[in-house]
Amino acid sequence: MLAFKAYKLGLRRISQARRYILIVYLLNLAIAMALGLVLSADIQDSLGNSLAAERLRNGFDDLWFQGFSGEAQGISKTFHPAVTGIGAIFEGLDAIVTGNFGRLQGTLGIALIYGALWIYLSAGFIGMFYNGSFDGIFGQHFFAEAGRHFMRFLMLTGIAVLLYWLILGALLPVLNDFVANRHRDTILEPLVFRDTVIKYSVIWLLILLINHVFDYAKILVVAHDVRKKDIWRVPLYAVYFMVKHPINIFTLFLMLGLTWLVLLLIYWLVAPGAWQASWFTVLFAFLLGQIYMVSRVAVRCLFFGSEIALYYYQAVLPSTEARQLPEKATG
């Protein structure tokens, strides 16, 4: 089955791209350390030599946290108990499915810059994987591909953001009102829980579908060097490709999704919470976090590599979909 063949090639791509995975990890680490130093300085200024500093060695001090969060600005507004261990991941997933990005208000500029960086890096990985250009000691081909496709990927992201907004800003409030009105006079909590699960399942499925469509849309942009004026059409051709090959698309999606879930489960089982007080336990928590970050980048590469391989096997070799796409850019 082509889905299994594509998945195996995706695993091989991780090995071939290990140099670039390390580069991306180091970029993430540099950004995280810069933001962490700012946050650390704010926390240190807040604690000083107070008794709260001593109490925090033995456990979480809610009284201090309430005072700190009330005065926090910028990056410090993102600091709260859930940022430790697996909690940070769950909070991010919750923000995506509920559309509640309130904690980003003080860091919107940083979030936009980080998002643009990831679009740039994604362009590099997809371009490199599709063309098989892994040479270059300093990643010349990677960064050349990233620069070449960045603007078109940015345009695709703009379309995706619009669709996300329609789901989270328009559809989700309608579903919230529907569930609330449906159970306005009921006291049966299982029924409320059931409808709430259904509501968020619908939202999640739509978000996953959009994410998947735009993964293949990015591949199409690279494969056919689509002109900027035709970018709006590419998601439609991605949907066409997915509908034409549903079994392999869905099988590969399940395999990749299970891989991500296994990684998340392992991290959940071993990730420490906020109890670290000694340098050893702090260092241990840091190392676990770095292993997880490298694994996340590797899994994202697995997604790209496998999806590119499946597209190549299904569309490029038979040369069927290629004739249906917008003509290539000439410059």
Q: pLDDT tens-digit profile of 10-49? A: 999 998 888 889 888 998 888 888 877 887 888 787 777 6
Instruction: State yes or no: pLDDT of 323 exceeds 90.
Output: no
pLDDT computed for residue 311 by the predictor:
93
**Those residues with Cβ within 8 angstroms of residue 302's Cβ, 6 or more apart along the chain or in another chain:** 7, 10, 11, 13, 14, 256, 259
Q: Is the model more confident about 140 or about 239?
A: 239
pLDDT digit string, tens, across residues 58-99 = 666 677 777 777 777 777 777 766 666 555 665 666 666 666
Q: How many helices (H) and strands (E) does the chain have?
A: 12, 0
* pTM as predicted: 0.81
What is the rounded distance in angstroms from the CA atom of residue 171 to the CA atom of residue 276? 42
Contact 133, 16 (CB under 8 A): no
Contact 13, 305 (CB under 8 A): yes
pLDDT computed for residue 222 by the predictor:
94
Instruction: State yes or no: pLDDT of 4 exceeds 70.
Output: yes
**Those residues with Cβ within 8 angstroms of residue 127's Cβ, 6 or more apart along the chain or in another chain:** 133, 142, 144, 145, 146, 148, 149, 222
Q: Is the model more confident about 322 or about 246?
A: 246
What is the rounded distance in angstroms from the CA atom of residue 251 to the CA atom of residue 246? 8
pLDDT level of residue 326 (50, 70, 90 thresholds):
very low
pLDDT computed for residue 308 by the predictor:
94
Q: Among candidates 229, 215, 88, 118, which has minimal Cα distance to 160?
A: 215
Contact 299, 89 (CB under 8 A): no
